[in-house]
Amino acid sequence: MLLALRDVRKSFSTEEGPVNVLKGVSLELDAGQHLALTGESGSGKSTLLHLIAGLDAPDTGEIRFDGDDIARMDDPRLAALRRGRIGLVFQQFNLIPSLTVAQNLAFHARLAGRLDRDWTAHLTQRLGLDACLQRYPEQLSGGQQQRVAIGRTLAERPDLILADEPTGNLDEDTGDAVIDLMLQLVSDVRAGFILVTHSTRLAGLLDRRLHLTHGLLQ
């Protein structure tokens, strides 16, 4: 079992009082399994992904990654986990504007001490970025920037990849092509994969689908 959540709950304080976003979420994900997480806007999909990534902490419950409870890890250990074993892809590309495409692609893997130039070259070719390596993010289209973001995450060969609406800023055709390629590459590294999406069509491409509503998974 790569990932196991047990009765995870999360609330946020507002002027009107606490808002219970997650009300006891449990799920399991095996290594190499692909899961789509759907739900209405504001249902807590992104919150759940942030908890799994250790970017926020649950109020109660367990989030075990490879047997270790993420909620009990300190900040340095969480940072190391995100550098080497859990990869993140967001709707916002979050590329470093002062670095070239080649430097952005290698950035996370270099930090994790896991830079494999042959694998990075393979990713570059598969992602169609060969002609863009010396360009800067501002010189790329939205689809190209998202491909760089995906390549940067995959370059370190993480065990789990979390993607939060990664095609939300792309047109449908470009988004479909990006997701299709991403699924192929995620399979290449045998990583677990959780995709947050509002699209039932995209969700249907993955092994499993869970729907988050009223703070619970269905």
In a domain, 6, yes or no: no
Spatial distance between the Cα atoms of 13 and 105, rounded to a whole number of angstroms = 38
In a domain, 23, yes or no: no
pLDDT for 174 equals: 81
In a domain, 188, yes or no: yes
In a domain, 4, yes or no: no
Average pLDDT over residues 100-109: 95
Q: What is the DSSP letter of 70?
A: G
Q: How many domains does the chain have?
A: 1
In a domain, 51, yes or no: no
Q: Is the pLDDT of residue 166 over 90?
A: no
Spatial distance between the Cα atoms of 107 and 114, rounded to a whole number of angstroms = 10
Q: Which residues contact 165 (CB under 8 A, 6 or more apart)?
A: 46, 90, 91, 196, 197, 198
In a domain, 166, yes or no: yes
Domain hosting 140: range is: 31-46+81-217
pLDDT for 218 equals: 87
By three-state DSSP, how is residue 105 classified?
A: helix
Q: Is the pLDDT of residue 8 over 90?
A: yes
In a domain, 116, yes or no: yes
Q: Is the pLDDT of residue 173 over 90?
A: no
Q: What is the CATH number of the domain that holds 135?
A: 3.40.50.300
Q: Which residues contact 190 (CB under 8 A, 6 or more apart)?
A: 31, 32
In a domain, 41, yes or no: yes
